[in-house]
Structure formats: C-alpha cells, structure tokens
Amino acid sequence: MIDPWGSASLEYQELIEKFGVKPFSEILDDVPDPSWLMRRGIVFGHRDYERILEAVRKGEDFAVVTGMMPSGKMHIGHKMIVDQLRWYDSIGAEIFIPIADMEAYSARGIDFETSRRIAVEEYIANYIALGLDLSKKNIHVYLQSENLMVEDLAYILAGKVNFNELRAIYGFTGSTSMAHMYAPIIQVSDILHPQLEEMGGPRPTLVPVGPDQDPHIRLTRDMAARFREKFGFIQPSSTYHRFMRGLTGGKMSSSKPKSAIFLSDTPEEAEAKIRNAKTGGRETLKEQRELGGVPEDCIIYETLLYHMSGRDDDLEEIYDSCRNGTLMCGECKNNTAEFVRKFFEELSEKREKALRVAKGVLEG
Ligand code: SF4
C-alpha cells in the first residue's frame, strides 16, 4: 500500500514491478522532441502515455491536470512540476491546476483562508516566476473549494465508491474523518472534470505525478471506467517522476529546512546551501584522481541533472570527468554554486513581479 499523505520514500522499481507502471524509456523514442526530464530518466514511468502521444501526433485536444497542496514552502524539487507544465503548454495542452485546499484541510488541518494565502503567495507566485504564463486561456487555476463543477461531479462519483474500497487503497480506518475520506474523491473529480461535456467532452488526459500519488491515479482510472457509460470518460494517463534528494542525502522536504533550497531563499542562501551539500567525492584529492567521484551519490550532480536544462552533452562531460577523476569537487561545487546563485538572482527578481499578479489569478 502507498500512502500519498505519508513521508515514506518509495522504491521506483517497486512501482513498476508491483503496480503495473511501465518504464518510460520504452516509449521515449516515440516522443517528438522529449523534455530534458524525460531524456534524463527523471520521468521514469507511465500508464497509457501512448494515448497522449497519439493526440499530439494527430494534433488533437488533450488535457494535463496536476494539482498543488498549499501546505508549506515550495522548494527546488517542486520546480520540476512547473518545468513539465511549461513543456506541455508548449505542445498545446489545455492545463488544469487545482489548488487542493479541501485536501489541505482534511489531511493537514489547514483552514481555507490560510490555504488561499499560501497558494497565492507561495505557489502561484512561484509558478509565474518560473515561467508559466497563468494568464493564458488554456491554463486554468482554481481552488477545489470554489469549483462547483468539481464538487458536483465528486458527489456523483462518490455514489459508486465505498469505504471498503478506500480502506484497501489508502488504509483508512474507522477513525479516519469523513473529510479525509472524501478528499480522494475530490481529486478524482479534479482529474476527470476536464472531460465533462461543458468542458469540451471526453479527451485524453495526462496526470504527471510523483510515485506516492499513484493510489489516486488507480482510483481515478477505476472510477473513469465505472462512469464511462454516463460521461464517456477516457481513462486518464499518468507519468511518474523521481524526486530530487535532499541536500544532505535522504528526502528533500519543506519540513526539514536543511534538506531543501526554498524558492524564496535569497541567492546567497541558495548558494551557501549548495556549498554545504553532500557530494560523491572521495576522502582525499589523491584518491579522487585515482578512483574518480561517484556522481550517482552526489547532490551537486543531481542539482545539475534536474535543473541544468541545456544540452545533455555538457552534463555528460561533467559526469565523465567526475568518473575519470579529472574533475575535483571543489571546482565542480564552485561552478554549480555560481549556476544556482545566478538562477536565484533571476528568480527573486521575477518573484517580486509575480507576487503582484498572483492575487488576480484566482479572481480572474
Ligand atoms: S566532482 Fe562534482 S559531480 Fe563528481 S562527486 Fe564531486 S561534486 Fe559530485
């Protein structure tokens, strides 16, 4: 069982072996001009992505849905969602971004007013600053608690799901609150509502998620099948991405400030965090020259892998010179710290402007 609200980290291979997710590498060659996150294996799995590829190939309409739960600060690991959305925007998707304030209330006890404030000041502002143009007509951002179409559909969907089923998927018990039990149904509705007649009717829909969110995907696909006759729903497709590890190893988490670079950090703070991050270097320079470093164990390398969006050749060069012992961690850290500082200088400038327009996004 996978707990989407828990903090346990998941073995990616397990998702492929036990839960029927397919390796993304098998279809990578079919993706015209794949994003760097796909090319580098950060997007590692999928369900029914072929449906999305077919829609892209035929120039047909498709939707992408990915929500945000406004429960803390956005860190650099979350940036990957925005990078994926920008890529889907560039290939013509209609994008839906539900703000999961009902889930934040039921799973984290955060009241609706606080959720709204966090969503605007933290998430929406950062999405804009990271380059997603939320004023475009094909991008829809909404609060779950304010979207009556989603709420009405959720109630209809709830008619065909029972406690035993939710218990089997999520491990709910007799002491789980009704609100918490209802939260997944709202999410199912978030994902399926772009296929309602009033939204343009059934169409392929993609949900890019972290592996911990797979229970919602399985439930949604089941529910889509149960309501196919009534609404014509097409089972949604999904992709699964790896999470960037924390700066000190382990999981990057908003609740562990030392593990994460927050998007609201100053350029100096971000740079200092990179300089203190764990590397895959050897104990001594001599050893490193002889044995080479281990980029797979290095947060510096991982930062570049996830965020250096340019040519893969540059990244491969860093990988090779690390492995063969010609690149030392001091120089590599300096270059990466410089890269991160520049990125944060630009981001903090954009964030200031983005904050001013973020409020209007939920009102427009
Ligand atoms: S040389 Fe760079 S990539 Fe290699 S272990 Fe050191 S910091 Fe990491």
Do residues 300 and 336 lie in contact, with contact meaning Cβ atoms separated by under 8 Å? Answer: yes
Do residues 361 and 134 lie in contact, with contact meaning Cβ atoms separated by under 8 Å? Answer: yes
- Cite the beta strand spans of 48-199 per DSSP E: 63-65, 94-99, 139-143
For residue 67, which of 231, 180, 193 has the smallest C-alpha distance? 193
Ligand 1 contacts CB of residue 304 (under 6 A):
no
pLDDT digit string (tens) for the chain, length 364 residues: 545 455 444 567 777 777 789 999 999 999 999 999 999 999 999 999 999 999 999 999 999 999 988 888 999 989 999 999 999 999 999 999 999 999 999 989 999 999 999 999 999 999 999 999 999 999 999 999 999 999 999 999 999 999 999 999 999 999 999 999 999 999 999 999 999 999 999 999 999 998 888 999 999 999 999 999 999 999 999 999 988 889 987 888 877 888 899 999 999 999 999 999 999 999 999 999 999 999 999 999 999 999 987 788 999 999 999 999 999 999 999 999 999 999 999 999 999 999 999 988 887 6
Q: Is 312 left (phi over 0), alpha (psi -120 to 50) or beta?
A: alpha
Residue 315 CB coordination number (10 Å): 17
Residue recorded with tokens 């945000």: 68
Ligand 1 geometric centre to CA of 278 (Å): 9
- Report the C-alpha gap between 250 and 210 in whole angstroms: 16
Query: In a 3-state reduction of DSSP, which class is residue 151?
Result: helix
- Report the C-alpha gap between 245 and 306 in whole angstroms: 11
Residue nearest to atom 7 of ligand 1 (CA): 329
Q: What is the pTM of this model?
A: 0.92
Locate the ligand 1 atom nearest the alpha carbon of residue 322 and give its number.
4
Would you tell me the crossing angle of helices 163-170 and 178-192 to the nearest 10 degrees? Answer: 90
Ligand 1 geometric centre to CA of 112 (Å): 44
Residue nearest to atom 1 of ligand 1 (CA): 329
- Extract the tokens encoding 318: 């860093």
Ligand 1 geometric centre to CA of 281 (Å): 6
Do residues 68 and 124 lie in contact, with contact meaning Cβ atoms separated by under 8 Å? Answer: no
Ligand 1 contacts CB of residue 347 (under 6 A):
no
Report how far Cα 110 is from the mean position of its chain's Cα atoms. 21
Q: What is the DSSP string of 189-234?
A: HHHHGGGSGGGTS---EEEEE-GGGHHHHHHHHHHHHHTHHHH-PP
- Report the C-alpha gap between 268 and 258 in whole angstroms: 15
Ligand 1 geometric centre to CA of 306 (Å): 15
- Extract the tokens encoding 326: 């010609």
- Report the C-alpha gap between 302 and 247 in whole angstroms: 10
Ligand 1 contacts CB of residue 279 (under 6 A):
yes
Ligand 1 geometric centre to CA of 40 (Å): 18
Ligand 1 geometric centre to CA of 165 (Å): 47
Distance separating the N- and C-terminal Cα atoms of the chain: 40
Ligand 1 contacts CB of residue 301 (under 6 A):
yes
Q: What is the DSSP string of 347-359?
A: HHHHHHHHHHHHH
Ligand 1 contacts CB of residue 37 (under 6 A):
no
Domains and CATH numbers, the chain: 12-243 (3.40.50.620), 257-354 (1.10.240.10)
